[in-house]
Structure 1
Amino acid sequence: MGEHAKVFHKLGIGRLHGLLSTTAFVFLVSFVLIAAFLNWMQIPIIQGSPLIYISRNTKKHHERVEVPLNCTHAALQGRKCPKNYPNVFEPEESSTKTCPDYFRWIHHDLQQWKTTGITEDMIERGKSSAHFRLVIVGGNVYVEKYKRPFQSRDVFTKWGILQLLRLYTGKVPDLDLLFFSGDEAKIMKRDYQGPNATVAPPPVFRYCGSEEALDIVFPDWTFWGWAEVNIMPWEDTLSAIKKGAERLKWEDREPYAFWKGNPYVAEHRLDLMKCNLTDKFDWNVRLFHQNWTKATQEGFKGSKLEDQCHYRYKIYTEGATWSVSEKYILACDSMTLMIKPEYYDFFSRSLVPLQHYWPIRRKDKCRGLKFAVEWGNNHTQRAQAIGKAGSKFIQELLTMRNVYDYMYHLLNEYSKLLKFKPTKPPKARRICVESLACPQKDLWRKFMEQSIVKSPSNKPPCELPPPYEPQAIQASVHNKEKMAKQVEKWETVYSNKQNDKKRWRSLI
Structure 2
Amino acid sequence: MAGYAAEAGAAAGAGRGRAARHPPLTSLVVSTIAAFSAVVVFAILRSAYDAAVSRTTTLLGHNLEPTPWHLFKHDKGRPPARAAFRCAPSLTCRPPVAQPAPGTTNASANASAAPRLCPAYFGAIRRDLAPWRRGGGGVTRALLDAAQRRASMGVAITGGGRRLHVELYYACVQSRALFTAWSLLQLMRRYPGRVPDVELMFDCMDRPAINRTDYGGGGDGDHGSPPPPLPETNIEPWSKEFRDIKEGAKAIKWQDRVATAYWKGNPDVASPLRVALLNCNDTNMWHAEIMRQNWDEEVKSGYHNSKLSSQCTHRYKIYAEGFAWSVSLKYILSCGSMALVIDPQYEDFFSRGLRPEVNFWPVHIDVAAGGMCESIRDAVEWGEAHPAEAEAVGRRGQRLMEELDMDAVYDYMLHLLTEYARLMRFRPAEAPPPRPPAQEVCEASVLCLAGEKQRRFLEASAASPAVSEPCVMPPDAGE
SS at match of 1:444: helix
Q: Show structure 1 runs of 5+ residues with no match.
A: 1-70, 207-217, 224-232, 471-508
Amino acid aligned to 1:137? T
Matches within 5 A, 1:182-201: 182-193=205-216, 200-201=226-227
Q: Which residue of 1 aligns with 2:99?
A: 87
Task: State the SS of the aligned residue for 2:306.
Answer: coil
Alignment pair present for 1:128 and 2:137? no
Q: Distance in 2 between matches of 1:294 and 1:358?
A: 32
Distance 2:315 2:386 in 1: 12
Q: Paired residue for 1:288, among 273, 286, 291? A: 291
Quote the Cα distance in structure 2 between the aligned partners of 1:467 and 1:345.
21
TM-score of the pair, normalised by structure 1: 0.69
Aligned position for 1:142 = 165
Relative distance call for 1:328 and 1:468 in structure 2 (3 A) is farther
Provide the residue aligned with 2:449 in structure 1: 439
Are 2:176 and 1:153 aligned?
A: yes
1:411 aligned residue (414, 417, 435): 417
The TM-score normalised by the length of structure 2 is: 0.73
Equivalence for 1:380: 387
**Equivalent of 1:331, from 334, 347, 353?**
334
CA gap of 1:314–1:246, structure 2 versus 1, over 3 A, is: same
The answer on whether the counterparts of 1:168 and 1:460 sit within 8 Å (CA) in structure 2 is no
Letter in 2 for 1:170: G
How far is the alpha carbon of 1:344 from its aligned partner? 1.1
- Worse overlay, 439-448 or 379-388: 439-448
What residue is the counterpart of 1:116 in the other structure? Answer: 137
CA offset at residue 291 of structure 1? 2.0
Q: 1:447/1:282 Cα in 2 relative to 1: closer, same or farther (>3 Å)?
A: same
Q: Which amino acid aligns with 1:351?
A: L
8 Å CA contact retained: 1:104, 1:468: no
Asked whether the equivalents of residues 353 and 400 of structure 2 are also in contact (C-alpha less than 8 Å), the reply is no
Which stretches of structure 1, 4 residues or more, deviate above 6 A after TM superposition? 74-79
Pairing of 1:219-298 with structure 2 (within 5 A): 220-221=234-235, 223=236, 233-265=237-269, 266-277=271-282, 281-298=284-301
In 2, Cα distance between equivalents of 1:147 and 1:77: 23
Other structure's SS at 2:247 match: helix
Name 1:47's counterpart in structure 2: none
Instruction: Give 1:23-42 correspondences, 5 Å limit.
Output: none
CA deviation string 1:247-280 (max 9, x = no partner): 11011011111111111110110000111138xx
Give the match for residue 471 of structure 2: 462
Alignment pair present for 1:305 and 2:312: no
Q: Does the CA-based 8 Å contact 1:105-1:467 persist in structure 2?
A: no
Kept in 2: contact 1:105–1:468 (CA 8 A): no
More deviation in 311-320 or 284-293? 284-293
- Partner-residue secondary structure (3-state), 1:299: coil
- 1:144, 1:107 → 2: CA distance? 27
Q: Distance in 1 between matches of 2:296 and 2:144?
A: 38
State the alpha-carbon separation in 1 of the partners of residues 310 and 224 from structure 2.
Answer: 53
Tell me how far 1:80 sits from its aligned partner.
Answer: 4.9
> Structure 1 residue 452 and structure 2 residue 462: aligned?
yes
Identity fraction in percent: 40
1:362 to 365, 368, 372: 365
Q: Does 1:170 align with 2:189?
A: no
8 A Cα contact 1:263 1:289, kept in partner: yes
Match of 2:120 in 1: 101
C-alpha contact (below 8 Å) 2:319/2:329 kept by paired residues: yes
The alpha carbon displacement at 1:77 in A equals 6.4
Cα distance in 1 between the residues matched to 2:247 and 2:118: 27
Match for 2:275: what amino acid? Answer: L
How far apart, CA to CA, are the structure 1 residues paired with 2:126 and 2:328? 26
**C-alpha displacement of 1:168:** 0.3
Structure 2 segments unaligned to the other structure (5+ residues) = 1-82
Contact 2:91-2:441 within 8 A present in 1 as well: no
1:48-67 equivalence runs, <5 A: none
Q: CA deviation at 1:197?
A: 9.1
Inter-partner Cα distance in structure 2 for 1:271 and 1:243: 33
Matched, 1:202 2:228: yes
Instruction: Provide the secondary structure at the position in 2 that maps to 1:264.
Output: coil
Aligned length: 372
| Structure 2 SS opposite 1:268 | helix
Q: In structure 1, the residue corresponding to 2:399 is in which secondary structure?
A: helix
For residue 350 of structure 1, report the CA deviation from its aligned partner.
2.4
RMSD: 2.5
- 1:460 CA displacement: 2.0
CA 1:336 to 1:130, structure 2 compared with 1: closer, same or farther past 3 Å?
same
Shift of 1:438: 2.2
Pair 1:237–1:78, CA change in 2 (3 A): closer
Aligned 8 A contact 1:103 1:465 in 2: yes
In structure 2, relative to structure 1, the CA distance for the partners of 1:167 and 1:202 (3 Å cut) is: same
Counterpart residue type for residue 292 of structure 1: W
Partner residue in 2 for 1:389: 396
Change (3 A) 1:325 1:86: farther
Q: Secondary structure at the match of 1:87?
A: coil
Give the Å deviation of 1:342. 1.4
Q: 1:79 to 1:349 in 2, by over 3 A?
A: closer
Separation in 2 of the partners of 1:438 and 1:200? 39
Please list the CA deviations of residues 450-488 of structure 1 after superposition, one character each: whole Å capped at 9, or x if unmatched. 1011x3112221111123479xxxxxxxxxxxxxxxxxx
The question of whether the paired residues in 2 share the 8 Å contact of 1:76 and 1:82 is answered with no
Q: CA-to-partner distance for each residue in 1:34-82, whole Å, 9 max, x for gaps?
A: xxxxxxxxxxxxxxxxxxxxxxxxxxxxxxxxxxxxx9xx999677535
Q: Which amino acid aligns with 2:475?
A: P
* Closer/same/farther in 2, CA of residues 333 and 421 from structure 1, 3 Å limit: same
CA contact 2:157–2:197 (8 Å) conserved in 1: yes
